[in-house]
Structure formats: C-alpha cells, structure tokens
A and B are shown apart, each in its own frame.
Chain A
Amino acid sequence: MSTMQQRFAAGLMKPESALPEGLTSWNCRQPKVRYDVYRNNVMVSLRRALASRFPAAEMIVGEDFFAAMADIFICEHPPRSPLLFLYGDDFPDFAAAFPPAQSVPYLADVMRLEIGRGRAYHAADVAPLDPARLAAVAPDDLAAVRFTLHPSATVLRSAFPVVTIWAMNAGEAPVAPISDWTPEDALVIRPHLTVEVLRLPPAGAVFLDALAAGGPLADAAEAGAAAHPDFDLTATLACALSGGAFSTIQTQPGDQP
C-alpha cells in the first residue's frame, strides 16, 4: 500500500516518467491518459495558485512565460502545506536566479511586493494606531517612543521603481514609459479590509525597519538621515501614520502596548 501511494505521487510532477505499476482501467492495463489527468490537475492547480498570488508578475512576463517558470518552480519547490495562500514565498528568489528572467531584473521585487499583499490580506485584524495617541506624547518623551508595526505591514526596499511598475501591471495605474527610473521603497499594509501599496519617501524603509526592530524613534530617525540626504522625519512619519503602519506605541519601557 505504501509503495502504491509512493509510486503514484512520485510520477505526478515528472511528466516523462513511466506510468506507476499497479494501475489499471476497464479497457486498458496502461492507463496513461487517465494517470495524466491527475498529473494535469496537480500542475494546473498549482500554476493557478501561483498566478493568483503573483498576478502583476504574470502580467509583466506574459502567461506563457509565467507558466513555464512556474512549472519548473513547482517541481523544484512543491508546496509543503495545504494552505496554498502561503505557497510561493520562495518564488521571487527563484525568479531572481532564473536565467530566462534576467532581462526583467525588477521582476523579483514586484513578486516580493505581491507576497506582501497576500500576507497583508490574511494578516490578523488589528486597529491601526490612532495618530492622536502619538500627538498626546509629551515633546520631551517623543525621542524614546517605540512603535509596533501593524501585523499586516511589509516594508520593501527596491533598487527599482517597484511601486510604479507594480501599479502599472496591477491595473492601478495606466501603463506608460517610466520617465523617472529611481529606486522606490514600498509599504504594503491593510489597516482595515483593503490592502494598500504605498510608496515611501526617501529612506522610509530604513526608518520603518529600524522601528520594526524595536529601536526608539530617535534612533530610527538617525538611521533614516544617515541613509538618504532627503530623509524627512515629519513627512515619513506622517505617511506611515496615515497609512496605518503601526498598531501601537510604547512611551516608556515597561508600558503595556
């Protein structure tokens, strides 16, 4: 029995492999077409799962390219969990190293942004921080404030205009030549029921990553200023706050969030 299931499973992702022994049908002892129905179901359904998680990537490279890349990925990195909305976390890294995709060097970052969108969609429901709570902090205490990022937040750094490229391929912006080809940092967030993709101001990702690591506001601001001459603490904090990037703040060590 164990061997039957092993044999059956082993051939599903190997289209050229021999038909497993022990199968039959009413009219044929070598039911290859029938076994291929299962092979096809497995591959098509997993391809579909990836396409639904990475729709902008599929738009960028086209359906045929995406399917061919997905097939190789599926065979090398089959899902390990029945939760397919988690499947493909390592697909961006695979795409980054996939030789035929080298002509679209920004593809992997768009895929990382899409992973952030999927995570945000399924993340825990938590009310975003009310900006009034920060406004109520005494000026002298501001530098020491620590922030907890919202559970839906993904901060993404990119060497490419990833937000602009994603938006054009997700139907969020008209497709047009990108005149300002500059690196963009993204914040993916779902403060309520809708997933948002925000373009962060310069060094915004450095700043948010420093806060996410648990550092106080003063240290995060310093890290942002060191990372980019145009870093603007007020604008960056306002963008993050209005976007719902935080769930809570701690004003003094030991405060309950």
Chain B
Amino acid sequence: MRPSQLPAQAGVGFKPEHFASIDQERQPVGFFEVHAENYMGAGGPPHAQLSRLREDYVLSVHGVGLSIGSIQPLNQDHLQRLKQVCDRYQPESFSEHLAWSTHDTTFLNDLLPLPYTEETLAQVCRHIDEVQTALGRQMLLENPATYLLFEESTYEETDFLDEVVKRSGCGLLLDVNNVFVASTNHNTDPASYLARFPVLHVREIHLGGHSETEDDLGATLLIDSHDTPVRDPVWALYADVVRRIGPVATLIEWDNDVPDWPVLRAEAQAAQAILQRSALAA
C-alpha cells in the first residue's frame, strides 16, 4: 500500500481563478491540493490546468463526496472515479473526511456528522479498507468541524480516530481550524483535544478560516466557512502542534470569498515560517 507522502512544507488549495497567476512563475509552495470531484469530467480546462500543475508541483487529492461515514455502502461508481483521478495524476496523497454526504440516493453536499459508536467505527473502517484497497494507497482521514453532538455516541472523537487508525492503517489529516471550531462549539478545550489526538499518525495539517455566530442560547457558535484568513488562535494551536510533532505538510484552505493569489500565497508563507522555526528548533 503506497503511503501518503507530502513534503513537510506549506501548500495551498488550488482555485482555478488563480491558475493564470500561478502559471506565471514557479511558486514558493510545497504542494497544491485539489478537490477530487472537480476533476471527474472527461476533459476541458480542469484537466488542462491540473496536468500543468502536476508537471511542477507535488499534488494532494482531497475528496469531498465519498461519504465514508455513511451507514450505506460506498458509491462504487464514485470510488472508481476517484481511482481514475488518482491513476491519472498519481498524487502524493489522497484524503477524505470523517463525515457523510449521501443518504439513499441523495447527495447532500455537506460534511455531515456521525455518532461515534462501535457500529459507526466498524462501518468507517470497512469503508476505509475498501478505499485503500481500490486505490492501492494509504488514505488520510480528516477530523470534522461539528456543530452538535449525538446522544448515542460512546467514543470521544479522538479515541474514535485512534481506533480507526489502528484498525485500518490509514493516516490522519489534522484540521486545526476544525479542532478550534468544534472545541468552541462543544465548550471544550482545543489544547486538550490536541493532547489526546493520535498525532503520530498525522501526515497533513489543514488550516482555514471560520466565521462566528450564536447558538440557541446565545453561546458562541463557530462555522467552518473557509472564507477568511486563518484566525490567531488557530495559528497558535498550529504552532503548538508543530512544535510537538515537527514539521508536517500544511495546507491553507480558502474556498469562499477567495482572495487574490498573493494573499493566499502569503498565508502559505506564514505557515512555512512556522514550519521552518520548528525545523531549526529540532
């Protein structure tokens, strides 16, 4: 099984509107990450752009539609499409989410939460086995941003992820913004979450922006909106994690209200500076 192998550098989530700027000169980014589903058409500009990026950069393919946390079987057509994308572009890493997005035949287009129970654990591990077998590679599983909890949950999320890693051999994609968002939303301490997180298996980190609202009782509710710069408390948590585990591939995600390329590049360079400090300290 081919391991996930991104360089311990800062990368950027690729947006087609940045292609012209990116293509002008070699960019100081360690890798680009793309959403797999955008490259499942037969041809056209998406493939032309990704082929061009592939020539010069390390590539991470990030799925958003496989519905690994679903109670129903994986969509085999979609798994085959993922395999085609991976076979064609040979990315250094493939990742997906601890979430579900399809129910019956309806695709809900959001990363929906699941209870953490023996039953969901077994199902998630089955699905990851299936993905890793089909793709012939290790996949990374990302911790979700969640807004509510389930009465039936019997596992802490960190214990659930630890067990998934042990049973399936997958790696982890630690989204530090999701940790901050979910911890705030559940009134828990993000540092404690990170202390329990199976960090030895982290192969990539995600950083992104969030927005703020209020819940039913007026408590702070953070939304994983990916429409702002990375917030200061998330940078601080990130620096702590990197200090603890050393440099690791780090992605800046900015999916809505996307800024001009130089702004995104500067965010990546800020992450790169933190990575370099930790490398020097090691």
Contacts and interface: CB of A to CB of B under 8 A. Distances in A.
B187 A42 contact: no
Contact of A82 (B65, B71, B113, B149): B65
B266 interface: no
Contact of B43 (A6, A22, A33, A124): A124
A45 interface: yes
B149 A25 contact: yes
A12 interface: yes
Given A26-B187, A35-B148, A85 B108 contact: no
Contacts of A37: 147, 221, 223
Interface in A46-89: 46, 49, 78-85
B110 interface: yes
A12 B120 CA distance: 21
A123 B44 contact: yes
A34 B108 contact: no
A121 to B, nearest CB: 5
Given A30-B216, A35-B148, A82 B78 contact: yes
A185 B144 CA distance: 48
B114 A22 contact: no
Contacts of B149: 23-26
B38 to A, nearest CB: 8
Ranked 3 nearest A-B pairs via Cβ: A82-B65, A122-B41, A125-B43
A135 B133 CA distance: 52
Contacts of B217: 27-28
A82 B37 contact: yes
Contacts of B215: 25, 27-28, 31, 33-34
Nearest to A194: B45
A103 interface: no
Interface residues of A, number: 47
Nearest to A21: B151
Contacts, number: 147
B107 A151 contact: no
Given A34-B147, A34-B221, A80-B107, A1 B119 contact: yes
A193 B107 contact: no
Contact of A42 (B44, B105, B110): B110
Given A32-B216, A82-B65, A42 B109 contact: yes
B47 interface: yes
A34 to B, nearest CB: 4
A165 B44 CA distance: 26
B20 interface: no
A17 interface: no
Interface string B104-135: 11111110111101011001000000000000
Contacts of B223: 37
B106 A23 contact: no
A160 interface: no
A89 to B, nearest CB: 14
A153 B210 CA distance: 41
B260 interface: no
Contacts of A152: 44
16 contacts: A22-B115, A22-B152, A25-B149, A26-B149, A34-B147, A35-B148, A38-B110, A79-B109, A82-B102, A83-B65, A84-B107, A85-B38, A123-B41, A123-B42, A124-B43, A125-B43
Given A32-B216, A33-B216, A82-B102, A193 B109 contact: no
B56 to A, nearest CB: 19
A121 B44 contact: yes
A122 B50 CA distance: 13
Given A28-B216, A30-B216, A33-B216, A83 B103 contact: no
Contacts of A6: 103
